[in-house]
Amino acid sequence: MRPVVVFRFSQTEGPGYLGEFLTRKGILWTQLNVDAGDSVPEDINGYSGLVLMGGPMSVNDELPWIPPLLQLIRQAVERNIPVLGHCLGGQLMSRALGGRVSRNPVKEIGWGGVSKTGLDPAPDWLGDLPSSFEVFQWHGETFSIPDGAERLLESAFCANQAFLLNDRHLGLQCHIEMTAAMIEAWCQAGADEIAQAAASPAVQQPAAMRQDMAARLEALHGVADVLYEKWIQGLRI
């Protein structure tokens, strides 16, 4: 099998639990660190799937790697190569597919609940998950749902938390890839952002994020197992 390619945009925002999942499943994967100067490939054909992680930048920033990455996402969708985006990654997917990325009414930072939209969205993907469950958040912007995609999840503070296109490409606003080490690193790196956004009803302090962390991560990884398991079924051999 050709490897899955995972794009990292920030040193503290690597694949986390997703990397553990892929390795456990015996799926080859390789990591390109855009933050360290790795270039965006011109062709997706060498890979079985495309994964985009999170990052502190905006899709609307004028960064040299954004246009070629948007083109790579479109190329993957055109060739039915599964794409998976987390937070910034989901926003990149939306933008590449004709959507918009704009400021969310409030910042969401920390643990928070999401709910399925409608009566039974994407039952093959979400059928084993409860109607509401907890995820991890860290974003100030939000994506629109691209034409032809189905909105899957919402939260009280952000209407668009996930979308699915062609039963193959999954864009997430929330984070399901978190590990304890990632949460600690983000709390340290984002201390000023947390302080500045403390008035937001959707922003937690580090102490609250650490509360019951082991049990919360176990539940989060259960959610990730369901979504990642479905996503890898579309990988190209």
| pLDDT of 1 | 80
Q: What is the pLDDT of residue 91?
A: 98
In this prediction, residue 37 carries a pLDDT of 97
Is residue 108 among the annotated active site residues? Answer: no
Residue spans of the domains in the chain: they are 4-232
Amino acid 73: pLDDT: 98
Of the residues 87, 158, 174, 187, only one is catalytic, namely 87
Q: What are the backbone angles phi and psi of residue 22, rounded to the nearest 5°?
A: -60, -45
Pick the CATH number of 4-232 from 2.60.40.10, 3.40.50.880, 1.10.150.130, 3.40.50.620: 3.40.50.880
Say if strands 162-165 and 4-8 run parallel, antiparallel, or are unpaired.
unpaired
**Is the full-model pTM beyond 0.85?**
yes
Question: What is the 3-state composition of the chain as percent helix, strand, coil, each rounded to the nearest 5?
Answer: 35, 25, 40
158 a catalytic residue: no
174 is catalytic: no
Where residue 216 falls (left for φ over 0; alpha for ψ -120 to 50; beta otherwise) is alpha
**Active-site residue, selected from the candidate residues 13, 108, 154, 177:** 177
Count the Cβ atoms, other than its own, within 10 Å of residue 172. 26
Catalytic residue among 86, 139, 169, 175: 175
Quick one: tokens of 230? 């479905």
8 A C-beta contact, residue 171 and residue 144:
no
The DSSP bridge partners found for residue 169 are 165
- What pairing do the DSSP bridges indicate for beta strands 169-172 and 101-116? unpaired
Predicted local confidence at residue 115, as pLDDT: 98
Q: What is the pLDDT of residue 170?
A: 98
- State residue 119's pLDDT score: 87
Tens-binned pLDDT, residue by residue, of the chain (237 aa)? 899 999 999 999 999 999 999 999 999 999 999 999 999 999 999 999 999 999 999 999 999 999 999 999 999 999 999 999 999 999 999 999 999 999 999 999 999 999 999 889 999 999 999 999 999 999 999 999 999 999 999 999 999 999 999 999 999 999 999 999 999 999 999 999 999 999 999 999 999 999 999 999 999 999 999 999 999 999 987
Question: Of 5, 173, 6, 178, nearest to 90 (Cα)?
Answer: 173
